Amino acid sequence: MNRAREVAIAVCDKFEELLDAKDITIPSADREGREEEARLYGSEYYQLEDTITDILAKVMRAERKMLRERLKRCS
């Protein structure tokens, strides 16, 4: 698992904690009505995780590019 995905999962976990504290459940067509279903569930969870991963990956690529350019200027 790449670093961006790991961080995205951690963000989703924190968001899940907030939803739980506020007693908010995000609707999902994937729900089966089981009591153990998370507040953020199914395709809605994975859509959020993917979006956060994409954002983080873009930021990380941009930061690596800037670092490479700085290193080139210093050499």
Q: What is the pTM of this model?
A: 0.85
30 contacts: CB under 8 Å, gap ≥ 6: 41, 42, 43, 44
How is the chain split into domains, by residue range?
Answer: 3-74
pLDDT value at position 22?
Answer: 98
50 contacts: CB under 8 Å, gap ≥ 6: 8
DSSP letter, residue 39:
S
pLDDT in tens, the chain (75 residues): 799 999 999 999 999 999 999 999 999 999 999 999 999 999 999 999 999 999 999 999 999 999 999 888 887
Buried b (16+ CB within 10 A) or exposed e, 15-36: bbeeeeeeeeebeeeeeeeeee
